[in-house]
Amino acid sequence: MNKSQSTQIWTANTNLPDAAESHTLPEILSQTGGWQAALDRVQAEQSALKTLFTGGQFSEIVVTGCGSTYYLSLVVAPLLQQQLGIPARAVPASELLLFSQTILTSRGKTLLVTISRSGRTTETIRAARAFKANRKGSILNIGCYEDTELAAESDLSIIIREGQEQSVVQTRSFSAMLVAATAICAVLGKSQTLEAMKKMPALGQQIISTTQKLARQLGQDLNQEFGFERFYFLGSGSRYGLACEANLKMKEMSLSVSEAFHFLEFRHGPMSMVNDHTLVVGLLSETARSYELEVLQEMKALGGRTMVLTNQSVPEKSADYQVCFNSGLPEASQGVLYLPFLQMLSYYRAEANGQNPDQPHNLNAVVVLGAET
């Protein structure tokens, strides 16, 4: 594919052979099983969720996690506020643990939503314990493992075992927990989208099978055709959390230079980094689509190559490449559809960089700290 080629909407149905025996790629390719399990789990817990939420009379919601699950919190908090009409914010568990007075108000009760694949991350456990000891409200936990220290602190746990994975990097777990959180928003917000969400696993599988080739092409940057050296992920609203997660995947798996920004923020300085070895990946919204497309057109004019992930296709002048969902889902439920391509992009970049995405440089699956000082 040469530089002059315009926007590609990839529909080719290709299941590329797994180039290297790894956990990460099979986990990415099989993730929609976890989506279905998440929907089933939330469906089964609807009454417990409604009892917890209505019983609590919460004046605010705080969503927390660490690393990937903090970024997942950044996706979920805007959805909760939008659908439930009460203030909701996302904070890293370390901030909630160490600076709770800057986060929790003394007025009213707080619903704390903890998100943790393992349920064993020390900061998240300690933050939940302190929240509980200070009788600040109730705790709703979302994770992938039963009977954990975090679950023991929680009033209700939504656990998706099918999200469990061998790889250190979160892929299948992240998307399963996001589907669960999105479904919880629908249940508590009394919207009808839970029924509409039932088509998500099939949609996700279709996205995976039709975009794997593009992800490999761009990720591996075959023959240095594009010579990508920098990756920027842009997202507005709840998609900013997805941009942060995509950035983390690119870093964790491939050790590439990458950053995430709110879409329009990119103009305010960071775009100085754009050159013809840059890929700017826009996670397009429906709400701010026209503003976001303008940013991408400007980045193309600066020499960057651009790619959009979008629910409706975009004009060719706005992007060199696009992945189009055509989901028929409301914007608030589309978040998980962005993930498979972004995960595959980082996986293939890692392969090209000779990195082992199963066991990223310097990282462990769970951060367990020593005794409290």
Q: How far is the CB of 359 from ligand F1P (least distance, A)?
A: 12
Do 111 and 102 touch, CB atoms closer than 8 A?
no
What does 309-367 look like in DSSP terms, one character per residue? Answer: EESS---GGG-SEEEE----S-GGG-GGGGHHHHHHHHHHHHHHTT--TTS-TT--SS-
Residue burial 250-283, b: 16+ Cβ < 10 Å; e: rest: bbbbbbbebbbbebeebeeeebeebeebbbbbbb
Binding mask 51-70 for ligand F1P (x = CB under 6 A): --------------xxxxx-
How near is the Cβ of 352 to ligand F1P at its closest, in Å?
Answer: 22
Query: Residue 161 gets which letter from DSSP?
Result: G
- Residue 158, SS3? strand
Q: Please tell me the distance from the alpha carbon of residue 77 to that of residue 91, in angstroms, as a whole number.
A: 9
Complex with ligand F1P: residue 65 or 340, whichever CB lies closer: 65
Among 94, 138, 141, 170, binds ligand F1P (CB under 6 A): 170
Least gap, CB of 117 to ligand F1P (angstroms) = 4
Whole-number Å distance between alpha carbons of 101 and 115:
21
Site string for ligand F1P, 208-247 (x = CB under 6 A): ----------------------------------------
Q: Which DSSP category does 262 fall into?
A: E
Site residues (CB under 6 A) for ligand F1P, limited to 303-362: none
For residue 123 the two structure tokens come to: 């900061």
Q: How far apart are CB 280 and ligand F1P at their closest, in Å?
A: 23
The interface with ligand F1P within residues 78-137 (CB under 6 A) comprises 116-118, 121, 124
Gap between the Cα atoms of 132 and 126, Å rounded = 10
- By CB under 6 A, residue 366 contacts ligand F1P: yes
Q: How far is the CB of 71 from ligand F1P (least distance, A)?
A: 8
255 binds ligand F1P (CB under 6 A): no
Instruction: Judge whether 274 and 304 are in contact, CB under 8 Å.
Output: yes
Least distance (Å) between residue 350 CB and ligand F1P: 15
Query: Interacting stretch for ligand F1P, rule CB under 6 A, among 151-159, 258-266, 315-323, 363-371?
Result: 363-371
Output Rg (C-alpha) for the chain, integer angstroms: 20
In the complex with ligand F1P, the residue whose CB is nearer, 20 or 368, is 368
Question: Nearer Cβ to ligand F1P, position 34 or 67?
Answer: 67
Closer CB to ligand F1P, residue 66 or residue 203? 66
Q: Least distance (Å) from ligand F1P to the CB of residue 299?
A: 28
Distance CA(347)–CA(24), nearest Å, equals: 8
Closer CB to ligand F1P, 235 or 282, in the complex = 235
Query: Residues 104, 128: contact at Cβ < 8 Å?
Result: no
| Min separation Cβ 61 and ligand F1P, Å | 19
Which residue reads 């900013």 in tokens?
240
Nearer to ligand F1P, 67 or 137 (CB): 67
Q: How would you classify residue 187: left for phi > 0, otherwise alpha for psi between -120 and 50, otherwise beta?
A: alpha
Instruction: Report the residue number whose CB is nearest to ligand F1P.
Output: 67
- Cβ neighbours of 55 (radius 10 Å): 11
CB of 141 to ligand F1P, least distance (A): 11
Q: Is 35 or 321 the residue whose CB approaches ligand F1P more closely? A: 35
Q: Which residues bind ligand F1P (CB under 6 A)?
A: 65-69, 116-118, 121, 124, 170, 365-367
